Amino acid sequence: MIREIEALSLTCVVDNYHDSLREDPPCGKRFRTKPSLSIYAEHGLSFYGVVKSGDRSYSFFFDFGVTGDLFLHNLKVLGIYPQKADALVLSHGHFDHYGGLMALLERISYRPIPLYVGKSAFTRRFHERKGEGLTDLGRLEREKLEEMGVKIEETESEKEILPGTYITGLIEMETPYEKIPETLLVEKEGKIERDYFEEERAVFFSIKGKGLVIISGCAHRGIVNTVKQVIKLTGIEKIHTIIGGFHLMGASEERILKTIKDLKDLFPSYLIPMHCTGFEASLLFSHMMKENFILNTVGTTYNF
């Protein structure tokens, strides 16, 4: 049985979309642009979380966006002080999730801090697009992180990284329709081969009286698979919130509809698809799960 927490505050520091005029969601508050204070969006993802467990609070970052300057700017306007973070988590080894990490480490002044990743998070990635050939997506350099005092924690199975804060191990692929695109590649032992994202990790919590909150970076191995993995690990079937990237951009309508059906059957209180979910999938979520759906905007803080 996992440890329950009293409360979770989760702020979206980086995402693809911002709208200062949308009403606040039922479980949070949006950032409002002012004449001299604006926030920026980019194709990336980052969260800052504060967990209340017992009589103490702990903070963490989950992913770090693409651009260091943008990441630090958004932290500043949101009033987030990264020096207070107790842990860092990287969902997987793509640049739109680790890009702002080095800038963050420079800001927190080279102090020792744990970074939780899955094995092979530091391998070079590629994308093959029709008519364009291979695009080198780069890699996160382990050596530079260690020079900056980061304590790298490679996780093979689920682990409690802070009181009441858990990271998954390998996300098992059970649904027949959640397939990883063949266009995503990785370099292993000098050869470029298909990427199966075995290092991808999600973070999850059990909130007293509410149920599970599950944060996904990209869900390359499937958002339904991700949620079912957390249910399997915890034995808890009550889902409060599923938030993050669902990786449905470019997916067929058939896959999107099957995903929506399976997520509806889990009865989440809130569903907050972001980043790589894609417009078509987000639109269908908003119509078919309108009682649960929340459109995220950069800077929104969710309070669970």
How high is the mean pLDDT in each 10-residue block of the chain (304 residues)?
95 97 96 94 98 96 98 97 95 97 89 91 93 91 92 95 97 96 93 95 98 98 98 97 97 97 98 98 97 98 97
Please tell me the distance from the alpha carbon of residue 238 to that of residue 83, in angstroms, as a whole number.
34
pLDDT for position 110:
66
**DSSP H or E stretch at residue 74:** helix 68-78
* Burial class of residue 201 (count of CB atoms within 10 Å of its CB; 0-12, 13-18, 19+): buried
Structure tokens that stand for 12 in this block? 């979206």
Rounded to the nearest 5 percent, the helix, strand and coil shares of the chain are 20, 30, 45
Structure tokens that stand for 199 in this block? 């290092």
* Burial class of residue 56 (count of CB atoms within 10 Å of its CB; 0-12, 13-18, 19+): exposed
Query: Hey, how many other C-beta atoms are within 10 angstroms of the C-beta on 36?
Result: 6
pLDDT for position 133:
86
Q: What kind of fold does domain 4-303 have according to CATH?
A: Metallo-beta-lactamase; Chain A (3.60.15)
Residue in the structure block whose two tokens are 């944060």: 215
CA proximity to 55, closest of 181, 163, 182, 128: 163
Residues in the chain: 304
Produce one character per residue of 223-232: b if its CB has 16 or more CB atoms within 10 Å, e if not: bbbbbbbbbe
CA-to-CA dists, residue 73 to 76, 100, 116, angstroms: 5, 11, 24
Contact 88, 61 (CB under 8 A): yes
pLDDT for position 293:
98
Threshold 0.75, pTM exceeds: yes
